[in-house]
Structures are given as structure tokens and as C-alpha cells.
Amino acid sequence: MTFIKVCGITRPTDAELAARLGANWIGFVFWPQSPRFVEPGVAAQILETLPPHVGGVGVFVDQTISEVNEISDRVRLSAVQLHGNELSAVCPHFSRRVIKAVRLSRTDKPDIVNGVWSKATLLLDSFDPIKKGGTGKQVDLDLAAQISRRRRTILAGGLRAETVAEAVRRVSPYGLDVSSGVESSPGIKSPERMRAFFEAVTMANKESLSISSSVLKQR
């Protein structure tokens, strides 16, 4: 089963719907320059209303270890997502599980992830010279698939109801990270788009299970 993170949450209603639909993680952006930025106090209040099995993930961009750990404790995050140029050497100093974003361009090779801390979960997103996420641009699925076969990978970048089934089929990621693909505007989620996205992922998972069962029966 593919885990799902709905990122860029700013409103309780969006978080509650995501949880009802089956989200495993809710993502909060704590980088002040993002249009999806949310105050830690607001994020903490939102997370408190959700079932205990739904974890909170904080997105940070080149912020200090002390700031990240302070917000993690205050909001009671399950994981931190590092979306800047953070070095592997700093990763062991964070107090939560680390998800390290790698922004892929069309010219990158699978070895781009070789220097990422081995205990971090990878998040593959599309490269943008200005934006640090939520670009709506799809990553190179062939490149993502090669990386996913080597390390636990969360796939982001351009995911929406119309594209996610192919992404699941080609990449077989551990998890999916959706933000702009289920929005009506930055930080405001569309209930219709969220429902369509989760339905598409459910169908893709069922298809994958069916294919796996057929392969096993042939052996």
C-alpha cells in the first residue's frame, strides 16, 4: 500500500478531510517565504484534531537545527522534511525522522542521491530555480524509478488525480506527496480534487496488487 502525504496544509478543514480520505501524513510548511507557510501554533492546533495514526511532517528550507527541533517539539511532528541545501552531516542532529528532498532536473542521474544521509527517506521533487516545492512540475519518472529501486522514496512533483496512477505504476514509490495537485489556490485544498486523487491512488494500488497476484500464480 502506498503511503500518502498531503502537504501545504493551512486549514483544519483540509487536514480533517485528508485524514478521512486516508492520508498517513499531513505536511506543514514552516519556511516563511512559501505561499503555504503556516505558523507553528496553528499547525499544532490542527494536528491535535487529527486521529493519532496521522502524523505531522514539517517542511523546512535551510533553517537552523535549533529552530527545526524547537518547532518539531512544539508541534509534535513525526518527521522533518528538509527541502533546501542541507548537508548530510547535519541530519543526525535533528530530533525527528528525516525526509530529505532531492530536486531532480532532466539532466540528473541516479547517483545524485549518493551523498544523501543513508538513514534519511528520500523525497523526489522537480527542480525549480526559485520555488522549493509545490511547483506542479512532474519529475522524470524513469529517473525516479531507478532511484526508488535503490532507496526508500517518496514521490512528489506534479502529482494529481490524472497523473498519479501512471506514477505509481512506473515508480512504485514508498509514498506520495501531493500539494498543488489538490489545490484551488496555494495552501487552499479543493475537496473535489482531494477525493479524486485518493480514489485514483486506491485504484492504482488495486491494479498493482492484481498484477503482483497474477505474477505469483504464474510461478
Amino acid at the residue 49? T
Residue 19: is its pLDDT beyond 60?
yes
| pLDDT confidence of residue 136 | 66
pLDDT digits (tens, 9 = 90+) for 89-139: 999 999 999 999 999 988 899 999 999 999 999 999 987 655 555 566 789
**DSSP reduced 3-state for 126:** strand
Residue 219: is its pLDDT beyond 60?
no
Residue 208: is its pLDDT beyond 90?
no
What is the distance between the alpha carbons of residues 49 and 113, in angstroms, rounded to a whole number? 36
More confident residue, 130 or 8: 8
| pLDDT confidence of residue 216 | 39
The total of structural domains in the chain comes to 1
Q: Are 124 and 157 in contact (CB under 8 A)?
A: yes
* Catalytic option among 7, 14, 91, 177: 7
Residue 205: is its pLDDT beyond 60?
yes
Question: Active-site residue 14, yes or no?
Answer: no
Q: Are 48 and 26 in contact (CB under 8 A)?
A: no
- 217 Cβ contact partners less than 8 Å away, ≥ 6 residues apart: none
Phi, psi of 169 (to 5 degrees): -65, -45
Question: Active-site residue 125, yes or no?
Answer: yes
Give me the chain's average pLDDT, please.
92
Burial of 44 (0-12, 13-18, 19+ CB in 10 A): middle
Query: What CATH number should be reported for the domain holding residue 179?
Result: 3.20.20.70
Question: What's the pTM?
Answer: 0.91
pLDDT digits (tens, 9 = 90+) for 137-172: 789 999 999 999 999 999 999 899 999 999 999 999
Q: In the predicted model, what is the mean pLDDT of residues 13-25?
A: 98
* Catalytic option among 14, 91, 125, 177: 125
Query: What share of the chain has pLDDT > 70, as a percent?
Result: 90
Task: Report how far apart the first and last C-alpha atoms of the chain are (Å, whole number).
Answer: 23
- Domain hosting 103: range is 3-218
| pLDDT confidence of residue 126 | 86
